[in-house]
Every structure is written in C-alpha cells, then in structure tokens.
C-alpha cells in the first residue's frame, strides 16, 4: 500500500498549490486526480484577481481576498522559478465602466464602499477612462479604476503550479480518483481510490465541485457546480491593457493577445456544454463594452464548473474527523484565493495555528446550521 504524509484528492489549482506548499515544507505529498489534473474549473476560469465583493454577502471574504492578492507577486515568482514556466501574471489594475445616467451617485457609492473595505479605487470621468482604455465604448459615462487588481493566465498558472509541485517532490497520479475518504473510527486514514487505498496522516479534499461526490465528504463540503460559459476573442488592432468590467460582462486581456470574455452563472448540474443563448449574452455585452470587438475572431468557446457552497463562501480547514481537511467551495474566486489557501493549509498542518481569520469558512459550519435548524423545530 502507498503511504504518504499527505494525500490530496484533486489536482486543480487548489490541490496543486497545496501540494507545492507542503512538498516545499518537506512532507511526502501525493495528489490523486480522477482525470488529467488541471482540466476543470482551474482551466475554464478567467483568472481575474479581484478581492472586491460582488454583493453584500461576499464582504466577509474581502480580508481573505486581500491577503491572497498581496501574496500573488511572490507566489507567481516562486512558481515560475521552480517550474521554469510563465504564468501570464498581469498586475495592471482593472477598470469598471459605468453606463447609467446617474453615474455621479453610483460612482461615489462604489468608491465609498471600496474605501470602507480598505480597497483602492479611483473615480474616472468618461474621457480619462477612454484615455486609459481607448477600446471602451464612447457611451461610457464614468469608470472606477482599481489599480491593485490583476489577472493571471489560469491555464498557464495551473500547469506551472503542478510542475513546480512535482519538481519540489510531490507525486501526481492521473486517472486515479478518490471514491471515499478512508475512515477508521474518528480518524481519516487516507483515501479509498478506484482500485486501492492510500494511507496518509493528512487527507485533503480539493476536488472542486466534485468534492461532494466523494463518499463521506458531503456534510463538510456540500458544494454544487455553477456553470460559467466563456469565449476567447482575438482582435488584431484593438488595444486593451487592463481587465474591463461592465455590469454584464468582463474582458480579460492575455499576454498572447487573446481577450477572454465571460461569464454566465448557471445551475445546470455537471453539464459543461456551451449554449447559443449563453454565448450570445457574453458576446453582445462584450461588444457593448468594447465595440471594436465586433470585428474580433472567436478562437474558442467553453464552459466550466465553479465549486459553489450554500453561502457562496469557501470551505477551508480541519473537520471533526482527525486528519481530514477540506479546501474547496472557492466559487468565483478560486484563482485569487489560491496562495492564501495553500498557506492556510500549511499552517494548519505544520504549525497547527493559522495567521488569518478563517472561522467563517470552517467546514463545520454546515453541520452547525443543520443542528440549529433541528433545535428550532417544534418538539
């Protein structure tokens, strides 16, 4: 039987980064993926690195996102150095375009919200916005520049992380998925794979939205897939430096000249097909934001499955089963949260205390909710 210090189920950006961090800390680490690693959400993503909350429910995640963004420059430098591969990191800021008529009020609300959360944001008039990004629609009324935000080529990053993990001593096994956690009384002794068991002192579930299908994991990681459709465009004469947002779409320029446009959020089970309606929505919003894209070639269309949790927040940390940790539920921010997730897991395992406030993200919170609900039921 194979024996490791750490067995990780799932070789996406999260499992790969944890493997890298723990292998570098001197542990014997193995990653098991049911298919070729790095081909699910981490491949399908847009790679925007933005800790700004999309809605009030996500405000509690801002400190975690800020901590992770701050780690990014050093993290990618290390990954690139160890792997010998580039990651397409672009620390160039992002720009959110506003089209509404009452932009003055909207702008001051957005800026106040960001400043209240300790996030840098600058208001821009229409002319300044178009000077920064000439591809913007002339009808844009104002914009918000978030200079600290960035993007990364998530496909390149995931491949580089997996390579760096292996070069640091981690073993990666493809086509060998986890069926269940191997439970012995109140201890997790490793993973039950398709045809064998592997023993490990620590077992980490990082199988994205599929984590819920691993026997024994659903109470801790009740995740579900949130499908996102995307398109990659190429426009020869259109200049775009930063990530551009509108209410309806984002556009992410890559170093190779592609512009990635996305994304839908759909709850359609594990279905990864693109649809005419989904792609039409993305393309028309992309052309509204940057009209020059009407002439762009469509190079690729795809869909991926985000790991969404019941409260849309990540699920991180130890469980009440000894040796079992969860690292999933990163929903729309898994690329952003990769460095901090890897660091947290290392701290839990090696130092047994963590440097950031993570209680809100505990895998035990769903059981508490269930107990609370049971307690309030009439006798």
By the criterion CB under 6 A, which residues form the site for ligand FAD?
9-15, 32-35, 37-42, 44-48, 177-178, 206-208, 210, 214, 228, 230, 262-263, 304-307, 328, 330-336
Query: Residue holding tokens 């009324």?
Result: 141
- The least distance separating ligand FAD from the CB of residue 196, rounded to whole angstroms, comes to 13
- The least distance separating ligand FAD from the CB of residue 342, rounded to whole angstroms, comes to 11
Determine contact, residues 309/189, Cβ cutoff 8 Å. no
Determine contact, residues 281/241, Cβ cutoff 8 Å. no
Q: What is the Cα–Cα distance from 187 to 74, expressed in whole angstroms?
A: 36
Is the CB of 161 or the CB of 349 nearer to ligand FAD?
Answer: 161
Is the CB of 99 or the CB of 173 nearer to ligand FAD?
Answer: 173
Is the CB of 2 or the CB of 130 nearer to ligand FAD?
Answer: 2
- The least distance separating ligand FAD from the CB of residue 88, rounded to whole angstroms, comes to 13
- The least distance separating ligand FAD from the CB of residue 176, rounded to whole angstroms, comes to 8
CA 219, chain centre distance (Å): 22
Torsion angle defined by CA atoms of residues 209, 96, 74 and 16, in that order, rounded to the nearest 10 degrees: 10
Q: What is the Cα–Cα distance from 295 to 274, expressed in whole angstroms?
A: 22
- The least distance separating ligand FAD from the CB of residue 47, rounded to whole angstroms, comes to 5
Q: What is the Cα–Cα distance from 358 to 96, expressed in whole angstroms?
A: 29
- The least distance separating ligand FAD from the CB of residue 357, rounded to whole angstroms, comes to 20
Is the CB of 204 or the CB of 290 nearer to ligand FAD?
Answer: 204
Torsion angle defined by CA atoms of residues 231, 236, 242 and 243, in that order, rounded to the nearest 10 degrees: -10
Is the CB of 228 or the CB of 253 nearer to ligand FAD?
Answer: 228
Tokens of 248: 């309806």
Is the CB of 11 or the CB of 190 nearer to ligand FAD?
Answer: 11
Q: Which phi and psi angles does 344 have, rounded to 5°? A: -60, -45
């Amino acid at each position: 039987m194979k024996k490791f210090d750490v067995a990780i189920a799932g070789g996406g950006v999260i499992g790969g980064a944890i493997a890298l961090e723990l292998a570098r800390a001197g542990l014997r680490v193995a990653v098991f993926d049911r298919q070729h690693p790095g081909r699910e959400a981490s491949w399908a993503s847009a790679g925007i690195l933005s800790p700004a909350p999309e809605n009030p429910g996500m405000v509690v995640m801002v400190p975690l996102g800020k901590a992770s963004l701050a780690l990014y420059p050093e993290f990618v430098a290390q990954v690139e150095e160890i792997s010998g591969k580039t990651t397409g990191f672009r620390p160039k800021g992002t720009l959110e375009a506003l089209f509404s008529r009452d932009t003055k009020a909207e702008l001051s609300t957005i800026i106040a919200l960001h400043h209240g959360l300790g996030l840098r944001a600058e208001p821009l008039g229409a002319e300044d916005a178009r000077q920064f990004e000439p591809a913007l629609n002339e009808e844009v009324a104002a914009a918000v520049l978030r200079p600290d935000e960035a993007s990364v080529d998530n496909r390149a990053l995931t491949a580089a992380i997996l390579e760096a993990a292996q070069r640091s001593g981690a073993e990666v096994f493809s086509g060998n998925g986890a069926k269940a956690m191997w439970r012995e009384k109140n201890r997790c002794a490793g993973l039950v794979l398709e045809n064998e068991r592997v023993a490990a002192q620590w077992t980490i579930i990082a199988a994205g939205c599929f984590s819920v299908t691993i026997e024994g994991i659903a109470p801790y990681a009740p995740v579900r897939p949130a499908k996102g459709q995307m398109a990659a465009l190429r426009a020869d004469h259109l200049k775009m430096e930063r990530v551009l947002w509108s209410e309806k779409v984002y556009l992410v320029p890559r170093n190779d000249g592609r512009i990635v446009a996305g994304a839908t959020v759909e709850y359609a089970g594990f279905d990864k097909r693109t649809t005419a309606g989904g792609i039409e929505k993305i393309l028309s919003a992309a052309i509204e934001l940057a009209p020059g894209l009407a002439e762009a070639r469509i190079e690729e269309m795809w869909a991926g499955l985000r790991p969404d949790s019941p409260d849309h927040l990540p699920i991180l940390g130890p469980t009440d089963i000894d040796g079992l940790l969860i690292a999933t539920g990163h929903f729309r921010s898994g690329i952003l949260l990769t460095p901090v997730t890897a660091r947290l897991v290392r701290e839990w395992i090696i130092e047994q205390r963590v440097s950031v406030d993570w209680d809100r993200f505990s895998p035990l919170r769903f059981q508490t909710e269930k107990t609370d609900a049971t307690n309030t039921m009439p006798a």
